[in-house]
Amino acid sequence: MSKKKHSNLSLYNTSLKKSMGKANSVENSASSCGKQVENQPKNVEKLQKKVENSSKACAKPVDNPQKSVGKDHKTGGKSVQKTVIKVTDLYKSFKLPTERAAGLKQAIFNWLKGVKGYTRQEVLRGINFDVKEGEFLGIVGRNGSGKSTLLKLLANIYYPESGKIEVEGTLVPFIELGVGFNPELTGRENVYLNGALLGFSSKEMDAMYDEIVQFAELEPFMDAKLKNYSSGMQVRLAFSIAIRAKGDILILDEVLAVGDAAFQEKCNNYFASLHGNQTVILVTHSMENVRRFCDRAILIENGEIAADGRPDDIAKAYENLWS
């Protein structure tokens, strides 16, 4: 009996120790959980502080937001802001008439030989470029390469066969001297007539009129009929209207050599003052003007853009066409 009681007692003690160990482990786990629960608000507060600090860092103003934008080498360090002209995949061709059939017999022979009444001339093929605000762009190339056709497409005088032209702003074309002038009207009336053709109202032309006349240096002759003007006076008036009209984009085709030496120098000084202030597209054969005025130049050859880059590089490429 004593042995049996002793064995039962030992079993009781061991089970009691196991239950006490489990109770201690439960207390320890409960206390650790309590500590985690107590520390959880502190962790949340730390996380909130990190979020606030990161949001403050993101909200700091940028010291120079346009620092990454490239500076043009002739615009006085001013960054180019936006694209005002974008030309995409532009194509233009013309139908040139061939020999005409004198009669029905000749027409039948031409038809049998496959001779059409015209031949198609591809003038521009896949032209792509853009112009930035305040940029002075020069376009050069041989005669017949498509330079003037491109300007007339930009001015909506011609329409492209395919492709897209996007223009943002008021465009003032000066492609041919004296276009839109009426010789039976006075100089004053022709100023307002040209302004209307360019899309300006009478009030807008009233504000521009004095500057136009002063630049042309024709104050005593504005009430005389245009047919009594010399060719030089007409050119000066037309040129003054084009450059003094308050447009966003100025398009010029071979017009820098107008008037006498004094007026040419006046025009050159005016163009030198345009850098970064007005967008200008100039078609010219003068590499001196390209190097002097342009920020960028394009060489067109056989209806395609052969080169696009710095004025000096394009001028050399143009001069190498004859070497």
Strands 136-141 and 304-309: unpaired
Tell me what pLDDT residue 102 has. 67
Query: What sign results for the dihedral spanned by CA atoms 21, 27, 33, 39?
Result: negative
* pLDDT tens profile 199-224: 788 998 999 999 999 988 999 999 99
> What secondary structure letter does DSSP report for 117?
S
Residue 135 and residue 73: Cα distance in Å, rounded? 11
Residue 303 and residue 142: Cα distance in Å, rounded? 10
The average confidence (pLDDT) of the chain is: 76
> What is the share, in percent, of the chain residues with pLDDT greater than 90?
38
Higher pLDDT residue, 18 or 280?
280
What's the one-letter identity of residue 82?
Answer: K
- With cut-offs at 50, 70 and 90, classify the pLDDT of residue 33: very low
Among 42-51, 59-68, 217-226, the least confident range:
59-68
The stretch 257-278 carries a mean pLDDT of 78
Which one, of 169, 241, 170, lies nearest residue 205 by Cα? Answer: 241
Residue 66 and residue 74: Cα distance in Å, rounded? 17
Tell me what pLDDT residue 101 has. 63
Task: Give, to the nearest 10 degrees, the angle between helix 231-244 and helix 187-197.
Answer: 40
The stretch 162-184 carries a mean pLDDT of 84
Rg, the chain, Cα only: 40
Among 62-66, 164-168, 227-231, 279-283, the least confident range:
62-66
Residue 15 and residue 214: Cα distance in Å, rounded? 116
Structure tokens at 277: 């202030």
Q: Which of 12-21, 112-121, 150-159 has the highest mean pLDDT?
A: 150-159
- If one counts every other C-beta atom within 10 angstroms of the C-beta of residue 173, the result is 22
Among 179-188, 255-264, 275-284, the least confident range:
255-264
- If one counts every other C-beta atom within 10 angstroms of the C-beta of residue 16, the result is 10
Higher pLDDT residue, 253 or 17?
253
- With cut-offs at 50, 70 and 90, classify the pLDDT of residue 69: very low
Higher pLDDT residue, 260 or 270?
270
Residue 283 and residue 292: Cα distance in Å, rounded? 14
* pLDDT tens profile 220-245: 999 999 999 988 888 889 888 887 77
β-bridge mates for residue 88, sequence order: 164
CB 80, CB 72: distance < 8 Å: yes
The stretch 73-86 carries a mean pLDDT of 66
β-bridge mates for residue 305, sequence order: 300
CB 182, CB 193: distance < 8 Å: yes
Q: Is the full-model pTM beyond 0.75? A: no
Cα 201 to chain centroid distance, Å, stands at: 27
Structure tokens at 210: 């004095």
> What secondary structure letter does DSSP report for 254?
S
The b-or-e profile of 232-269 (16+ CB within 10 A means b, else e) is ebbbbbbbbbbbbbebebbbbbbbbebbeeebeeebee
Tell me what pLDDT residue 59 has. 35
Residue 223 and residue 189: Cα distance in Å, rounded? 8
